[in-house]
């Protein structure tokens, strides 16, 4: 009499639990099945050729990231804009960089995100802005990326490629915009993503608030530093810019802003200093 493989028993148990507990467990079962599939050889080549950052990761995090890529590619459609034809390479490279924000965390897979809109390069967005007197005026902006609370991320493919190819310049449009998605999970982006316990918010506000004030003072004084001056725009942009520096320039960030680095390490549950 042959024994039933443990993998089959696990799948049956998960299916029964999903039937009992509803959509969240059905999603878990679907993702379990996705990550049980072999990681495609073509995807592995994309990571090796296009994303040198991947080779820095410890083996266990490489495995985690590959599973995150599989789920993100399966669940988050990428739509081409301005005539761009989306390829498998594009989907994998976006998912790989976004997946860095999920390592060691049980934070879901950007649950508010419905789709990624991918442009060939920088794109133009028309906005209506209201001034202090309440008058509205049209404004045209050229962007490399944007995150919308309505469930969309907009990206420039040229800059997705550049962010993956040059991992140490502190600029990564995918990390930046997907950090905004984390920030927007509980409402409008304000620089404070979901942190769990109330005590965490107090420490987060004190640490990031001090670092944000320091960046604004540095920008006003015209002094150089590790954080992009764009982070001085508002707290939401500060969190996104700080996230870029945390993953791409951890040594410089830890040296210049040790308290900020430690807070981000606690939130993201990784220490990029050990990947150098």
What confidence tens digit (pLDDT) does each residue in 1-43 have?
445 567 677 666 656 655 555 667 788 889 999 999 999 999 9
Task: Using alpha carbons, select from 212, 180, 206, 202 the residue that is nearest to residue 193.
Answer: 180
- Edge-to-edge strand ranges of the sheet holding 78-80: 78-80, 115-119, 152-156, 145-148
How much is the pTM? Answer: 0.88
R_g (Cα) of the chain, nearest Å: 20
Contact 204, 262 (CB under 8 A): no
Q: What is the dihedral of CA 44, 85, 185, 193, to 10 degrees?
A: 60
Distance CA 152, CA 113 (A): 6
Q: What angle do CA 254, 168, 58 make, to 5 degrees?
A: 75
pLDDT single digits (tens) 138-189: 576 788 899 998 899 999 999 999 999 999 999 999 999 999 999 999 889 9
* Domains of the chain and CATH, by start: 190-276 (3.40.390.10)
pLDDT tens column, 211-240:
999 999 999 999 999 999 999 999 999 999
Distance CA 69, CA 168 (A): 22
């Amino acid at each position: 009499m042959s024994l039933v493989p443990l993998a089959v028993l696990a799948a049956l148990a998960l299916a029964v639990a999903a039937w009992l507990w509803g959509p969240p467990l059905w999603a878990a079962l679907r993702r379990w099945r996705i990550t049980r599939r072999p990681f495609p050889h073509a995807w592995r080549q994309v990571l090796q050729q296009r994303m040198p950052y991947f080779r820095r990761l410890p083996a266990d995090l490489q495995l985690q990231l590959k599973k995150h890529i599989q789920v993100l590619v399966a669940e988050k459609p990428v739509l081409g804009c301005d005539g761009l034809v989306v390829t498998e390479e594009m989907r994998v490279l976006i998912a790989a960089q976004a997946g860095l924000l999920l390592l060691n965390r049980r934070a879901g897979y950007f649950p508010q995100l419905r789709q990624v809109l991918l442009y060939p390069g920088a794109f133009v967005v028309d906005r209506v802005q209201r001034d202090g007197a309440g008058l509205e005026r049209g404004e045209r902006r050229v962007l490399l990326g944007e995150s919308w609370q309505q469930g969309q991320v907009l990206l420039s493919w040229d800059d997705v490629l550049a962010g993956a190819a040059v991992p140490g310049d502190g600029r990564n449009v995918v990390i930046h915009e997907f950090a905004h998605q984390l920030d927007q999970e509980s409402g409008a982006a304000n620089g404070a993503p979901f942190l769990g316990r109330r005590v965490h918010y107090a420490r987060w506000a004190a640490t990031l608030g001090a670092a944000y004030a320091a960046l604004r003072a540095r920008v006003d004084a015209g002094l150089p530093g590790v954080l992009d001056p764009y982070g001085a725009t508002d707290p939401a942009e500060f969190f996104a810019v700080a996230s870029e520096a945390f993953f791409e320039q951890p040594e410089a960030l830890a040296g210049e802003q040790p308290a900020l680095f430690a807070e981000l390490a606690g939130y993201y549950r990784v220490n990029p200093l050990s990947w150098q």
